A and B are shown apart, each in its own frame.
Chain A
Amino acid sequence: MSNNLIEIRGVSKHFPDHPVLHNINLEIRNGEFLTLLGPSGCGKTTLLRLISGFEEPSSGAIYLDGKDIAGIPPHQRHVNTVFQSYALFPHMDVFDNVAFGLRCKGIAKDEVEQRVHEVLRMVKLDTFLRRKPHQLSGGQQQRVAIARAVINKPLVLLLDEPLSSLDYRLRKTMQIELKQLQKQLGITFIFVTHDQEEALSMSDRVVVMHDGEIQQIGTPRQVYEEPDNLQVAKFIGEVNIFETKVLAADDKQLQVEIEGKLFTLKNRRKYKAEQTLYTLVRPEDLQVWSPSEVNDTETMFSAVVEEVIYKGCTVDLMLRLMSGKRLAATQFFNEDDEKLDFLLGEAVWVHWIPGWEVILPHEA
């Protein structure tokens, strides 16, 4: 028996008017925090609903704990969901909301009482037993929704954008709490979000989805630093994309031309000469210098500062190259650059440290 808790094999889902998921293959390990990340309409919520049983796949199979779960209705699957809208029962107080699942299973009154108290203590709501949902704040409602789901000790907890209606600060706090809760419970979490920052900071593994297909599966670091394709790179974080002509290539190195300048880059993916590629550089990997600070401008681009956005810990710049191409560059304060004073219209030199770029093939 492998330690895959869920195996999704060749699952597709079509709704009458449009296809939603194409041939999804995914293994979810026991105890991991997995995030489905993608823009709205990419099918991530549908995938979640296939696991919870609210939808059935058009083809393919889903195995939960080794068993094919086709045809098993949601209330008989050992899986619980935290809904985006929380979906608390408005006519019941906190205690009754949380106790609902246990009561449905006909568990004895004493045990229900004990377990509800236990789980509410865990989410720090043990003093709110008799409040109705509308008397709670968004964050508290969120916790009730989580408590109501985890009290059933599911094999997997499915979370459908559970933090999206909270304000920024609360969302940050809840991210940490959720992560701690997951470690404490040891339950597998499948978390759906369109917020890439959330996905990166919470997950063990991230599944990037687009247009009903999985684009990449990997650790947060992998999907951010080594995106498999442009779609992933563009969706996760900001990125500058340069059209790149390969002049010569061998096993180790590429001679390329970018924006009229010649570069020698590592050939990690065995590209050939004459190919057109994309070179991707993250804004934080671009360095911006004023002309007086540099001597050798061989591998630098000349640019003009178009916009300066001061963000406290960083300064974000919008630059325009001679060719008209716009670049985003994020500059950090450090001992070399204490001021980061850039003027609008100022001429600067831009460059990145070779090796920090990602090179991807042209996509059809």
Chain B
Amino acid sequence: MNRLTRIAYLAVVYLFFYFPIGVLIVYSFNNASYSLLWHGFTLNWYKELLSDTDLQSVAWHSLSVGILAATIATMLGTLTAVSLYRYRFKGKKLLHGMIFVMIVSPDIVMAISLLILFSTLKAPLGFWTLLLSHVTFCMPFVAVTVYSRIAGLDKNIFEAAKDLGASDFTILLRVIIPLLWPAILAGWLLSFTLSLDDVIISFFVTGPDFDILPLKIFSMVKLGVKPEINALCSVMFALTLLIVLIAQLVLRKKQ
């Protein structure tokens, strides 16, 4: 009885999580344009997706912004975490606090403030403003992820490295980064995901000539959910799953 409830409970939880995604994937193979009924299996929507060059270029925009933003944010966030942990400097506590403020502050606030900043600077809205914004909102997440890992390490390790004759740069390269590698990878993945599906901030800070997936999909569904979008989302889901799997494999090897 007890065992049965546990399994049932777990099933309900997983159902709650993954049923919508399952439905989406199933319907991406449905041979009908606007029906909730099953009309047979087809790969048409995927074929259509492949021939839609417009959507492909938008997807490429998203992917490149995601990769670049995640990479830059990871570098900056890691350095922030390392300096917060290792060095004493003026404004350290303030910086530490501000990171959390950035995480909890509503997207809309950040979006508007970035928009005001860019228009004051008369920066043309497009790829660069979008990239900068994504780096900005991803960085605190990386900093927090990496900091929690570095704070769990024995502080003497860094002193030992220094004692053995390592310069700060050597310590960063040969001790800190290898030790923080799992957290850095996690921070990158988190940033990539955040960047890939951000709607609110992106809506304000990108221009008409640099469209990205979430915004494109958003405008497409205003006219009803086409199965092509189902197919697109299924592909994105598969891609995410693949990245997570690779990350898991890499980390397991490291262990």
Contact = CB atoms under 8 A, between A and B. Distances in A.
Interface in B184-231: none
Contact of A75 (B165, B175, B178, B179): B165
Interface of A: 52, 54, 73-76, 79-81, 83-85, 87-91, 100-101, 104-105, 148-149, 152
Contact of B163 (A80, A85, A90): A80
Interface in B109-148: none
B160 A87 contact: yes
B161 A100 contact: yes
Given A91-B178, A91-B179, A104-B170, A75 B157 contact: no
Contact of A104 (B157, B159, B166): B166
A101 B161 CA distance: 8
B234 to A, nearest CB: 38
A73 B171 CA distance: 14
B154 interface: yes
13 contacts: A75-B164, A75-B166, A79-B163, A80-B164, A83-B156, A89-B157, A89-B160, A89-B161, A90-B157, A104-B164, A148-B164, A149-B163, A149-B164
B92 interface: no
Main secondary structure of the interface of B (DSSP, over half): helix
B170 A74 contact: no
Contacts of A149: 163-164
Contacts of B162: 54, 73-75
B166 A54 contact: no
Contacts of B163: 52, 54, 74-75, 79-81, 149
Contact of B167 (A75, A81, A84): A75
Given A81-B159, A87-B156, A100-B164, 11 more contacts: A75-B164, A75-B167, A80-B163, A80-B164, A85-B156, A87-B157, A88-B160, A101-B165, A104-B167, A104-B170, A148-B160
A100 B159 contact: no
A149 B175 CA distance: 17
Interface of B: 154, 156-157, 159-167, 170, 174-175, 178-179
Nearest to B170: A104
Contacts of A88: 157, 160
Contacts of A85: 154, 156
A83 B159 contact: yes
A52 B162 CA distance: 10
A81 B165 contact: no
A344 B186 CA distance: 67
A52 B166 CA distance: 14
B179 A101 contact: no
Contacts of A101: 164-165
Nearest to A83: B156
A152 B164 CA distance: 8
A148 B166 CA distance: 13
B160, B166, B174: which has the most chain A beta carbons within 10 Å? B160
B165 A87 contact: no
Contacts of B160: 81, 83, 87-89, 148
A91 B161 CA distance: 13
Contacts of A91: 178-179
A75 B171 CA distance: 11
Nearest to B165: A104
A180 to B, nearest CB: 24
Contact of A105 (B154, B165, B174, B178): B165
A84 B175 CA distance: 19
Contacts of A75: 162-167
Contact of A74 (B154, B159, B178): B159
Contacts of A80: 163-164
B25 to A, nearest CB: 39
Contacts of A105: 165
Contacts of B174: 100
Most B Cβ at <10 Å: residue of A87, A88, A148: A87
Contacts of B175: 89
B254 to A, nearest CB: 8
Contacts of A76: 165
B157 to A, nearest CB: 5
A100 B166 contact: yes
A87 B159 contact: yes
A80 B164 CA distance: 7
A45 to B, nearest CB: 12
B85 to A, nearest CB: 15
B165 to A, nearest CB: 4
A104 B162 CA distance: 10
Contacts of B157: 87-90
